[in-house]
């Protein structure tokens, strides 16, 4: 329960839409004689956070930090090894597949690569309408809903007859967003939804997502490695390193006053239009350790410029600064 206090809600605040408690996902590594499982990959290692109604929580970190695995585990595309995921106060990790089916409608996903996630043999209208078909929506109602969805994401009705490869770069993610909206979800997981797009197109998609959130009251769990994108769309941000959340808080507060050494290093790498800004760059030593054998104590201590002997043996808890910002470090660098 290394990060259980990350999910604590402020007294008197409304109950969150999503509450993640000590979420873990470990993969066994098989080898040796008879393919026996030996060591385990600690992809997600005790992650906790909350997500409010109509809120966007950004999850950032280097490649391999576990952010996408955490997001997919939350919606049970990947089954967790341990921990709890509460949706509207109900633990969905303890449900059977049949019991989870009504909740599947309320939690949808937009994938990173629209071409890989959309069936190339189906026309866009059929792709967007497929979730409605799976849940038994009558044909007439389904057709009306699909037309509405295409208009809502900025596509003409003629686009319903196109195959995925016929969409331009500026349109390629929109059918995926429309499909995610089909069942009127309350939570959408956005897994690197703009990383494969040009910068100008990224802005269009991000602005579309923001408009949809305002219009429909949707909550987003937004996974990305681009800090500028995350800052633009997120209300709060969680920073992950090697399967753990090392800092979480309001986006403005976290970006203006990062408290964890890893967060500071990430933000120092963001290009700034200011002469001499590169001098502020924090270059971390060494490589990211393997999740197959993460360091004892604080996972970050092997690369941290402030690490002490205590860091190599004792994992820090997330400390609350009193303003909703929490960070997992034995030292207060402020």
pLDDT tens-digit readout, 74-117: 999 999 999 999 999 999 998 999 999 999 999 999 998 877 88
| pLDDT at position 69 over 60 | yes
Decide: pTM greater than 0.85: yes
Q: Give the DSSP per-residue string, 1-25.
A: -TTGGGGPPPTTPPPPSEEEEEEEE
Query: What pLDDT does 90 receive?
Result: 95
What percent of the chain stands above pLDDT 90? Answer: 70
| pLDDT at position 5 over 60 | no
- Helices marked H in the chain — which ranges? 67-74, 97-104, 114-117, 124-134, 139-152, 174-181, 199-216, 227-233, 251-256, 261-268
CA distance 147 to 128: 10
| pLDDT at position 168 over 60 | yes
Q: What does pLDDT average to over the chain? A: 89
Query: What pLDDT does 4 receive?
Result: 42
Q: What digits encode the pLDDT tens for the residues 184-242?
A: 999 999 999 988 788 888 889 999 999 999 999 999 999 998 888 999 999 999 999 99
Say whether domain 4-99+235-328 belongs to CATH 3.40.50.300: yes
| pLDDT at position 11 over 90 | no
Looking at per-residue pLDDT, the higher value among 51 and 36 belongs to: 51
pLDDT-wise least confident of 54-58, 117-121, 253-257: 117-121
Q: What digits encode the pLDDT tens for the residues 261-291?
A: 999 999 988 776 655 555 577 878 878 888 8
Cβ-contact 115, 124 below 8 angstroms: no
Looking at per-residue pLDDT, the higher value among 6 and 46 belongs to: 46
For 173, which DSSP code? T
Domain spans of the chain?
A: 4-99+235-328
| pLDDT at position 2 over 90 | no
CA distance 148 to 186: 18
Cβ-contact 309, 277 below 8 angstroms: no
Query: What pLDDT does 116 receive?
Result: 82
Q: What is the mean pLDDT of residues 290-312?
A: 92
Q: What is the mean pLDDT of residues 299-310?
A: 92
């Amino acid at each position: 329960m290394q990060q259980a206090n990350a999910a604590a809600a402020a007294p008197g605040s409304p109950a969150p839409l999503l509450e993640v408690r000590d979420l873990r996902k470990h993969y066994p590594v098989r080898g040796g004689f008879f393919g026996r499982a030996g060591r385990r990959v600690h992809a997600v290692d005790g992650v906790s956070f909350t997500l409010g109604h109509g809120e966007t929580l950004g999850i950032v970190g280097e490649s391999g930090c576990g952010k996408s695995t955490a997001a997919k585990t939350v919606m049970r595309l990947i089954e967790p090894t341990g921990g709890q995921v509460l949706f509207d106060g109900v633990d969905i990790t303890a449900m059977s597949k049949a019991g989870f089916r009504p909740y599947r409608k309320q939690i949808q996903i937009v994938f990173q690569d629209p071409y890989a996630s959309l069936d190339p043999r189906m026309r866009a209208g059929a792709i967007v309408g497929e979730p409605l078909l799976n849940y038994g929506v009558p044909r007439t109602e389904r057709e009306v809903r699909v037309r509405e969805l295409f208009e809502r994401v900025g596509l003409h009705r003629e686009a319903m007859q196109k195959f995925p490869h016929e969409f331009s770069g500026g349109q390629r993610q929109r059918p995926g967003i429309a499909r995610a909206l089909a069942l009127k979800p309350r939570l959408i997981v956005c897994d690197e939804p703009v990383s494969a797009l040009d910068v100008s197109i990224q802005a269009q998609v991000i602005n579309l997502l923001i408009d949809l959130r305002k219009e429909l009251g949707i909550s987003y769990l937004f996974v990305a490695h681009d800090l500028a994108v995350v800052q633009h769309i997120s209300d709060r941000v969680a920073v992950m390193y090697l399967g753990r959340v090392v800092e979480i808080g309001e986006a403005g507060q976290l970006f203006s006053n990062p408290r964890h050494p890893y967060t500071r290093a990430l933000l120092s790498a963001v290009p700034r239009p200011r002469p001499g800004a590169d001098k502020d760059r924090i270059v971390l030593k060494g490589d990211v350790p393997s999740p197959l054998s993460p360091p004892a104590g604080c996972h970050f201590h092997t690369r941290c410029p402030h690490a002490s002997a205590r860091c190599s043996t004792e994992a820090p808890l997330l400390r609350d600064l009193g303003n909703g910002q929490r960070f997992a470090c034995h030292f207060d660098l402020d």
